[in-house]
Structure 1
Amino acid sequence: MFTPKISQAGWTRRTPVLRQLALSACLAVAAASLPTVSHAEAPLQKVQAPGWYRMMLGAFEVTAINDGTVDLPVDKLLHAPPTTIAQNLKKHYLAAPLETSVNAFLINTGSRLVLVDTGAGGLFGPTLGRLAAQIASAGYKPEQVDDILITHMHPDHVGGLSPEGKLAFPNATIHVDQADRDFWMSKANMDAAPADKKGFFQGAQASLSAYEAAGKLKTFNADGEVVPGIRSQATHGHTAGHAIYLVESQGKRLTLIGDLIHVASVQLESPQITIGFDSDEKQARAQRLKTFQQLAKEGSLVGAAHFPFPGLGRLRSTGKGFAWEAVNYSSQVK
């Protein structure tokens, strides 16, 4: 067997290298015996980013505001076979109860600051009622709001008006369809309502009474301009006086549809399906179809109260139903 010969000089040159290798091996063994320290051991934060999204509509600045989300038992609320609901939800990787957004919209026209709907306040559980904090995060103060336009007086749309009986928006005038005001503010209607519906009346009256007493509640009876650049359009059915609002600036339009629809994953494809919250199912269905057909034809922007936040997009006709094209996210306000 051949044995290489290493001279004394060669050994001397190799000794530091061998020593380094030996030292490295020792350090590796020592490190393996030490407890592992991970820089990823930070606590989970469990909070989302502030819920507002901003865009321009002509010269108007529109800020979508998220009041929070709530789990809805849509399999029990929607009037359709359970298998139909389950299949449509599954198609979108969803299930019941469905986590549902509650959105409001803040519009700065340059001369007026206008809020459409006010979220739930404390009327719909602990996961909602974040409107005031979101408005502050978006750079505005409640006292800067000049007008509040209510699509209808269900608790998740008016609950943010008067938390704890105080005017949350002390300088604002509240605008609502006369038919909705007359229905929900009526003690006789509340007394005649089923027990599980009385809370809707109580929430509406608690939210609006202080503004009405202060002379800050204005009603309208017909389609028309409520504030400069924003028109109301009657879509009665979901409630006695449900209204939508058409916001227009420099040839651009945004239609805020309130509760014409609740569950996008089911009711877009099957718009004939109604929900238990509808006061008049037949009329609510007819208003949804009529309005959606027009919006799809126009291709104008739509703001939906219960579509996933920010609830902004466009409707597209697909045979007997519709599809939703959400706005493309932008890091710029344009």
Structure 2
Amino acid sequence: MTLRSPWGRATLAACLTAVTGLSSTPAQASAPQVKTQAPGYYRYMLGDFEITVLSDGTVPQEVEKLLHAPPAKVQSLLSAAYLTSPVETSINAYLINTGTALYLVDTGAGELFGPAGGHLVTALRAAGYQPEQIDAVLLTHIHGDHSGGLMMAGKPVFPNAVVYAHQREAAYWLDAANVAKAAESHKPYFQEARAALSPYVAAGKLKTFEGNAELLPGIWTQEAPGHTPGHTFYVARSQGQKLVFWGDIMHVAAVQFADPSVTIQYDVDSKAAAAQRAKAYADAAKQGYTVAGDHVSFPGLGRLKAQGKGYAWVPVNYAIPR
């Protein structure tokens, strides 16, 4: 059965306009779509430490061409996460305010990815800080999407900061003799590393370390070589709470949490990288501490729990710091 108005369409439309103030004329868009995000920052309290996640942007990745796994398997795991390739991959960095010092873990890509990256400084300022306030930059490794943000427009972005990197990491990327021995796809990374770090080296502001030890008050180093020769986790501890900054222990969450054995072309040593990932996942799931992933969807903070032969990612619960 069809319901009909006893008044007729014209009369009904006039009544509706009079009562609601709404015209029956189709609405027109009054402005173009903006298609931007707000400056990306997110606060998280770790004991007495304030952690601010900073988004440098997202970059599309054709992951089925990068991961060492059958494309059909990659497609299946992406589909299970409601994703398709190319996958927009987050570039995250992390600011640690201990109350007495500001430490920045990784710097984003700077100008290396064009408009896809280079948003870290905007996010930093929106979060209430200035680049000149950073006391130390802690590099998990020296790939361009982690160290490229050290330089912008030919100038050091963090002029008052000391830059820390593992001794093996600095030695590998800053030694020109290693270029010839590197895989062809990795060779541009050496030039990017020198461009990012040279001004800090010249100013005596690059400091290296080895081993697992307290590097700065409340911040420990944890060696995790494989992805690169000196790839390092940083561990922040405050009031009995622990946060591990993972750097590039993984790149594609939908695939590498479900199957940690899957490696990626970006690894300098894929076998060692897979072993470090297996160890890191198992420890995080067993201990239940929070981890920070540079390429996990922003803000990249969460915990792991074992699930079948892999792991499930549990993002941190959203909260307003108090």
C-alpha separation in 1, matches of 2:138 and 2:310: 29
The letter for the 1-side match of 2:321 is V
Say if 2:89 and 2:296, in contact at 8 Å, map to a contact too: yes
Match of 2:93 among 95, 99, 104: 104
- Report the alpha carbon displacement of residue 163 of structure 1 after superposing the two structures with TM: 1.5
Shift of 1:306: 0.3
CA RMSD of aligned residues (A): 2.1
Q: Secondary structure at the match of 1:75?
A: helix
The answer as to 2:164 corresponding to 1:175 is: yes
Q: Contact conserved, 1:119 with 1:158, CA < 8 A, in 2? A: yes
Task: Report which of the two structures shows the higher radius of gyration computed on alpha carbons.
Answer: 1
Q: What corresponds to 1:232 in structure 2?
A: 221
Aligned counterparts of 1:60 and 1:134: Cα–Cα separation in 2: 19
Q: CA deviation at 1:123?
A: 1.1
Alignment of 1:72 onto 2:58: no
CA contact (8 A) 1:174 1:216 kept: yes
Q: Is the 8 A contact 1:165 1:210 kept in 2?
A: no
Aligned partners of 1:194, 1:270: CA distance in 2, in Å? Answer: 25
Aligned length: 309
Distance 1:267 1:325 in 2: 14
Secondary structure at the residue paired with 1:143? helix
Name the SS of the counterpart of 1:64 in structure 2: strand
Code of the residue aligned with 1:313 in structure 2: it is G
Work out the CA distance in 2 between the residues paired with 1:289 and 1:28. 68
| Mapping 1:51-62, distance limit 5 Å | 51-62=40-51
Tell me the distance in 1 between the aligned counterparts of 2:62 and 2:189: 18
8 Å contact 2:186–2:266 — kept in the other structure?
no
Amino acid at match of 2:74: I
CA distance in 1, matches of 2:146, 2:275: 22
CA contact (8 A) 1:75 1:85 kept: yes
Deviations 1:308-328 (A, max 9, x none): 000000011123211100011
Cross-structure match for 1:286 = 275
In structure 2, what is the Cα distance between the partners aligned to 1:195 and 1:47?
35
Distance 2:31 2:177 in 1: 57
Normalised by the length of structure 2, the TM-score is 0.91
Higher mean displacement: 124-133 or 83-92: 124-133
SS of structure 2 residue aligned to 1:325? strand
1:50, distance to aligned residue in structure 2 (A):
1.6
Mapped to 1, the partners of 2:179 and 2:291 lie a distance apart of 33
Deviation track 1:138-164 (CA, whole Å, cap 9, x = no partner) reads 000000000000000000000000123
For the pair 1:268 / 2:257, whether they are aligned, the reply is: yes
The residue number in structure 1 matching 2:204 is 215
* 121, 132, 139: which one aligns with 1:132: 121
Contact 1:165 1:207 in 2 (8 A): no
Distance 1:127 1:237 in 2: 27
Any runs of at least 4 consecutive aligned residues in structure 1 with deviations exceeding 6 A, and if so which?
Answer: none
After superposition, the C-alpha distances for 1:264-317 in whole angstroms (9 at most, x for unaligned) are 100101000000001111100000111111111110011000000000000111
Gaps of 5+ in 1: 1-20
Q: Is the 8 A contact 1:119 1:128 kept in 2?
A: yes
